Amino acid sequence: MIADVIVDLQYGDCGKGKITHHLCKDKHYTHVLRYNGGCNAGHTIYHEGKRFITHHIPAGVFFGVKSIIGSGCVVNVEQFFNELEELNNGGIDTQGLVYIAANAHVITNEHLEEETREQKIGTTKRGNGPAYRDKYARTGVQAKDVPELEPFLIDLYEEFHENDASPIILCEGAQGFGLDIDHGDYPYVTSSHCTTAGALLNAIPPSWVRDVWGVAKIYETYVGSKQFEPDEPVFSKLREIGEEYGATTGRPRQCNWADMSLIERASKINGVTKLVFNKVDILRELGEWNLIINGEAVNFEDEESTRSYILKRLQDDMEIYFSDSPHRI
């Protein structure tokens, strides 16, 4: 029994779906499990020349791998069925591949209406916060209580632990460490656990974890209400080159240089063994190489010196990869 976990080391939008898609190509996983969040997440995936954005359904479905929305998630039923339809219309056969943990919670119309009329910190207005609140208040609705979801229900314990099961699970996270309810910049956080520990809440014992894939950008982005982007023209240019607009909300992402202290902290707390820096080609096109070190922006002469610093600071603890395009690592 093996579980590999994918975690975002920044504020989301770092390419977790891309890495999940890449790791599923050889089809050695028996399951891909989405372990936290709801339809406030948006994973952009390029598959056979087509662009897909998934909000609930894990990326294993693109390669015929059983894909489960876990008990740590909250599910918008309408969005779930819309997503199934979009995938099928895009040539992805989801029949018999997509499941929902029976004890996952559901986003109700009341949750959506509440977020529409109330102004929340950094909310995407998708009802996730109220759904998680009701889950912990023990007043929520579980997937097993929704009749139309019955064909998709699965018991995670039975699936992973009974009937001579020998699962090899890829755990796909949502949002990012900087938004984690416990470790993020509270109160500018999401309502779920975005860490390796969040994956374990889905009937996965700690002893099963083999690798933790940390995913970051070579710079940083953030969507929310706090001030994040410095008042410098270079970040507007960075946003345009990197096409930094939210996959879920369409809002412009605030941009900044990558904070090495955040990445180091997130890597250690999550137990990262392999780290991917995405979108290196964007800084190459921008022509500026900067990192935030001890709270200050530090300029590097070129890409080589930037990589050298990152490797020197982090490589003793993990394997590090630098990735260019949206299609590969």
- Enumerate the active-site residues: 13, 43
The full length of the chain comes to 329
How far apart are the C-alpha atoms of 200 and 211, rounded to whole Å? Answer: 13
Which tokens go with 167?
């699962």
* Identity at 234, one-letter amino acid code: V
Q: What is the CA radius of gyration of the chain?
A: 19
Q: DSSP string spanning 50-74? A: EEEEESSS-GGGGGT-EEEE-TTBE
43: how many CB neighbours lie within 10 A of its CB?
Answer: 27
Question: Which residue is listed with tokens 């909000």?
Answer: 55
* Residue 240: partners with Cβ closer than 8 Å, 6 or more residues away: none
Which tokens go with 203?
């009937």
How far apart are the C-alpha atoms of 55 and 101, rounded to whole Å? Answer: 16
